[in-house]
Structure 1
Amino acid sequence: MSNEEMATLGAKRLTMQLDLTAQQEEKLKTFYLDQMESRRKLMEKSKKERDEIRQDRMEMNEDQKEELRKILTEEQFTKWEQLQEKRRKGRKAPMRERQN
């Protein structure tokens, strides 16, 4: 359903329950549409912030990896990467499987 349809349905439902006037029903419909638009904007903002945080974290991880590469020998770094991969795979497994 579209936002318009949901707002209309919600307003009609309350109109029947509360015996609202046509004017009140229209105002309620507008109120619902405004609320939906506000929520949509908030969700978009949250998604953008999550994406930005994820990107920042990825960049930070790459920087940290480069620092580690300077500290460790090539063999040590390769082993560290293998340990990290094993750790990532362990996180994805359900808790039940990890304990076995």
Structure 2
Amino acid sequence: MKKLVLIAITLMTVQAFAQQKKGEGNKERMHKMQNLSPEEAATMQTKRLTLHLDLNEKQQAEVQKLLLANAEARKAKMEEMKAKREKGELQKPTKEERLKMANARLDHQIAMKSKMKEILSEEQFAKWEKMQARMAHKGKEKRKMQDNKRMHQKKKE
């Protein structure tokens, strides 16, 4: 009986440490991705999509161009936000500003989807949509966990 309890405790401890390291690895990966140039980020994303969707040469070139434009816009936006934060000008957006940003984001997603639909075959597009849905679900779960952490921190204060 003692051996079973000892084994159970050992397994729970190992599992807890494994999960902590997984989260730390994600943060490191995120920081590495932020330090990439737009060209490098677009190339990596294109290669990942090539592996998942089996893209041909023409599709790779078109997807690369599309992802490069997205990466450059994202990098510019990050630099703008960083500059505002350093100047102390970064403020919480108003309701109208949040609505405007949400509409702009949705318009961009719609445009991206239509461009990808032109580039990919029907089978590839269906697979790409599943990937996007999976990523969106993961993002929602991550935000939910972050919100829970914030709530617990506020309760402690």
Q: TM-score, normalised by structure 1?
A: 0.47
Which structure has the bigger radius of gyration? 1
Structure with the bigger RCO (C-alpha within 8 Å, sep 6+) is: 2
